[in-house]
Structure 1
Amino acid sequence: MAIEEKRAWIRMLVGVAAYVVYAVIVLTRADGRALTDVPYAATLIWSIVAAIVASIVVEIVVNTVNRGSMVTDERDRAIGGLGDRVGQAFVVIGAVAAMLMAMAEWDHFWIANVIYLCFALSMALGSIAKLLAYRGTFPQW
């Protein structure tokens, strides 16, 4: 397995896990209250920081234990670009959604959470596109 494929797996799993943990914590704290009344900011920041740190640590451990090739080739770069393009679409969707929500004067809770959701979708779907391309099941354009 190529190093970039390992990274895609790690980032997808860690990122999805971090978002799910964040969502569960916020929903649990609601306890019958409106979601906009739930303190979420610290949890959101900590889940993002934890995901970044966990991804780095897991990548180091995996690459230390499984000494594969650290070389990337043209195929890896093309697959990386494909995954990045798929993922970037959700960053744009999140930015536009947040802008429209801010213009409509929605609560900060919803704006922050739509941005985080779109970042999580960007990472997850970009990684899935990369993994499908590595397995040869994604159309090549």
Structure 2
Amino acid sequence: MSSEEKRTWIFALIGAVVPIAYLATVVSKVPGTDVARIAYVGPMLTSIGVGIGAGIVLSIVAAMASPKDADRTDERDREINRRGEYVGFYVMSIAAIVPLVLAMAKVEHFWIAHALYLAFVLAALASSAVKIVAYRRGW
């Protein structure tokens, strides 16, 4: 497994686990509560920070585990990365329509922020999924 594939698996894992933990914490407060009173900004920023920090730390750990492969990328890795990022861009572009419509409809900021957060999560997961499939099934 190349170092790029390891990083892709790391980012896919983080992209799934961190948002699930965040949403389980914050969205569980929605039933029976006015969403305008839910303090979501701090936990959302924390989850974003934890995701970024975990990605950096786990990438360093993966590089330390196999130092010979840490900086090696070839044309195949670059093409897989490009294709995955391309798909992620389109997922984000399409998913960003939802928060835009919510903002135009003057919906609570809680829902707009979460729709945008979900758009980023979906884009990251789609990008990682495309890369993993390309690595596993061949390019």
Matched, 1:118 2:119: yes
- One-letter code aligned to 1:106: V
- One-letter code aligned to 2:8: A
How many Å apart are 1:106 and its aligned residue? 1.1
Counterpart Cα distance in 1 of 2:109 and 2:101: 12
Alignment-derived partner of residue 57 in structure 1:
57
Counterpart Cα distance in 1 of 2:61 and 2:134: 25
- One-letter code aligned to 2:14: V
1:14-25 equivalences under 5 Å are: 14-25=14-25
SS of the residue 2:77 aligns to: helix
| Paired positions, count | 138
> Contact between 1:3 and 1:68, CA under 8 Å: does it hold in 2?
no
SS of the residue 1:135 aligns to: helix
How many Å apart are 1:101 and its aligned residue? 1.2
Alignment-derived partner of residue 131 in structure 2:
130
Moved beyond 6 Å, runs of 4+: none
1:76-91 equivalences under 5 Å are: 76-91=77-92
- One-letter code aligned to 2:65: V
Q: Which runs of 5+ in 1 are unaligned?
A: none
- One-letter code aligned to 1:29: K
Q: Which runs of 5+ in 2 are unaligned?
A: none
> Contact between 1:27 and 1:35, CA under 8 Å: does it hold in 2?
no
Counterpart Cα distance in 1 of 2:61 and 2:101: 42
Alignment-derived partner of residue 67 in structure 1:
67
Q: Deviations over 1:66-106 (max 9, x none)?
A: 33412111111110011001111121123222221111111
How many Å apart are 1:45 and its aligned residue? 0.6
> Contact between 1:15 and 1:51, CA under 8 Å: does it hold in 2?
yes
Alignment-derived partner of residue 92 in structure 1:
93
TM-score normalized by structure 2? 0.91
